[in-house]
C-alpha cells in the first residue's frame, strides 16, 4: 500500500479520536502514521509494522490513561468529618444526644460509649456518622480544635 494512504488513515483516525472517548482511534492513527513512514516495504511488512506499533501504543496508552485518570480517594462532604476533633457545646448524657461543634458547624452527637457522660467543653473525636448525627469518643489528648 502507498505511504500516503497510511498517513491519510492515520490523520483520519486522529480526527476521529477528537470525537470519541478513550484512546482507541489514537492508537490506530499512530500505528498508521508510523506504518506510512515504512511505505516502501512490502504489504506484509507494513501490516506487521501496523500491528506491532498499534499494540505497543495500546499498551502504553493503557498505562498513561491509568495514571491520568487515577484519583486519590479523598473523603468529601460530611465523611471528611470522621477523625476530626470537636468541642461539646451541650453535655452528652448516656444514651442521649448532645451537641458538638466541629470547625464552624454544630452537630447533634451521641457518645460511642453508651455509659459515658461527656461534659460541655470537652474535646471529642468524630468516630462515625449516621444521618445528621455524629458518634463521638472523648479525646483525652490536650490538643485544640
| pLDDT, averaged across the chain | 87
Write out the residue limits of the CATH 2.40.50.140 domain(s) in the chain: 77-138
As a whole number of angstroms, the distance between CA 112 and CA 92 comes to: 11
As a whole number of angstroms, the distance between CA 23 and CA 39 comes to: 24
| C-alpha cell of residue 140 | 483525652
Summarize the confidence of residues 112-138 as an average pLDDT: 90
| C-alpha cell of residue 84 | 476530626
- Given a cut of 60, whether residue 143 has pLDDT beyond it is no
The CATH number given to 77-138 is 2.40.50.140
SS3 content of the chain, % helix, strand, coil (to 5): 45, 25, 35
pLDDT in tens, 11-69: 999 999 999 877 789 999 999 999 999 988 999 999 999 999 999 998 888 777 777 77
Summarize the confidence of residues 105-125 as an average pLDDT: 91
pTM of the model as a whole: 0.48
At 86, phi and psi to the nearest 5?
-145, 170
Residues whose CB is less than 8 angstroms from the CB of residue 7 and which lie 6 or more positions away in sequence, other chains included: 32, 33, 36
- Given a cut of 80, whether residue 117 has pLDDT beyond it is yes
Residues 70, 58 contacting (CB under 8 angstroms): no
Amino acid at each position: 500500500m502507498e505511504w500516503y494512504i497510511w498517513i491519510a488513515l492515520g490523520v483520519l483516525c486522529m480526527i476521529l479520536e477528537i470525537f470519541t472517548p478513550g484512546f482507541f482511534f489514537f492508537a490506530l492513527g499512530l500505528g498508521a502514521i508510523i506504518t506510512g513512514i515504512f511505505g516502501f516495504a512490502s504489504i506484509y511488512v507494513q501490516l506487521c509494522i501496523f500491528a506491532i506499533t498499534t499494540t505497543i501504543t495500546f499498551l502504553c496508552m493503557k498505562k498513561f490513561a491509568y495514571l491520568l485518570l487515577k484519583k486519590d480517594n479523598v473523603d468529601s462532604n460530611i465523611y471528611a468529618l470522621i477523625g476530626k476533633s470537636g468541642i461539646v457545646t451541650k453535655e452528652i448524657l448516656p444514651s442521649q444526644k448532645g451537641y458538638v461543634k466541629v470547625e464552624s458547624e454544630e452537630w447533634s452527637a451521641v457518645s460511642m460509649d453508651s455509659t459515658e457522660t461527656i461534659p460541655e467543653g470537652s474535646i471529642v473525636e468524630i468516630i462515625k456518622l449516621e444521618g445528621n448525627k455524629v458518634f463521638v469518643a472523648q479525646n483525652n489528648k490536650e490538643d485544640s480544635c
